Amino acid sequence: MKLGVFAVLFGEKSFEEMLDYVAESGLDTVEIGTGGCPGNAHCNPDELLASDEKLQAFKKSIEQRGLSISALSCHDNPIHPNKAAAQAAHEIFQKTVLLAEKLGVETVITFSGCPGESEQSQHSVWVTCPWPTEHSEVLKWQWEQKVIPYWSEQSKFLREHNVRVAIEPHPGFVVYNTETMLQLREACGDNIGVNFDPSHLFWQGMDPIKGIRDLAAAGAIFHVHAKDTAIDVYNTATNGVLDNKPYSDEKARSWIFRTVGYGHGEETWRNIISALKVNGYDGAISIEHEDSLMSIEEGFQKAVAFLKPILIREGLEKMWWA
């Protein structure tokens, strides 16, 4: 496996400065944001698609530092009920696919998105329970009228350009767990897989190892994020895990995102890495930082220091088993 980083973390650095810092930190890959929620501080798809000279210079800058691109990311909601928002997300997704093809990058990461409850909606509606019965009716309408038609078309587009999409399951969108991920893949195409992020499973009470086994059995793990979640057992015991308080209100929340190792210890992460390897994944482990208790520098460097020995040890053990 290769250790990498979701480079939007370093949006305040120039492209060249970011690459130098990542290489100096001993990483192997970069995940590049092209637009949507992560933004595109280091990559302008319109410019790169319009100029082969700029495209080649972009590639060379990465390769000459001994790095590779693990994925291009454009997290957004392409089935947003607001037509302008949906169109913007759709356009950046398709441009990202075209750019991935030109760069020789296999994987584009995004969210599944979430529609509203009807054609009149202006905001997305995430259904979390089957009752009252209109919730079930809304969910059925969303999948049949919006989700499956959109992603079936995108599966065809992806196939035309030899690129695959890694959907990042996240509450608030129609794909948020293993079951809904496999539902989308079965309905729309096997070039639709997952960007596996344990942090999104931890706070839903899911077991990442079970998720890895089920998703890998379907050949659905395309990319992996390294991010942790810390559960406040007392707030959770009082309020459960459905928590809409601001992320900055750490003391009152049931859970918060943390740097790897600050939510779950080395044994848990060692088991996650080993499960990925045993189940056939040998791609990038891309560090993502959303820890409100640490600066970018501190969170990133602690994640690197935590994960490097695990990846090295896991690799040696795999060689020994072989």
Cα–Cα distance between 38 and 44 in angstroms, integer? Answer: 13
How many residues does the structure list for the chain?
Answer: 322
Cα–Cα distance between 75 and 80 in angstroms, integer? Answer: 13
Taking only the tens of pLDDT, the chain with its 322 residues reads 999 999 999 999 999 999 999 999 999 999 999 999 878 889 999 999 999 999 999 999 999 999 999 999 999 999 999 999 999 999 999 999 999 999 999 999 999 999 999 999 999 999 999 999 999 999 999 999 999 999 999 999 999 999 999 999 999 999 999 999 999 999 999 999 999 999 999 999 999 999 999 999 999 999 999 999 999 999 999 999 999 999 999 999 999 999 999 999 999 999 999 999 999 999 999 999 999 999 999 999 999 999 999 997 655 454 334 3
Architecture of the domain spanning 2-321: Alpha-Beta Barrel (3.20)
Report yes or no: 19 and 61 within 8 Å, Cβ to Cβ.
yes
- Report how far apart, in Å, the C-alpha atoms of 7 and of each of 34, 254, 306 are: 11, 28, 18
Token pair recorded at residue 253: 């929340």
Q: Which residue has the tokens 């607001």?
A: 82
Q: 3-class DSSP state for residue 24?
A: helix
Domain coordinates of the chain in residue numbers? 2-321
Q: How would you class 177 by CB atoms within 10 Å of its CB: exposed for 0-12, middle for 13-18, buried for 19 or more?
A: middle
**Kindly report the CA angle at 227 between 270 and 188, in degrees rounded to 5?**
100
Helix-strand-coil percent breakdown of the chain, rounded to 5? 50, 15, 40
What per-residue confidence (pLDDT) applies to 316? 46
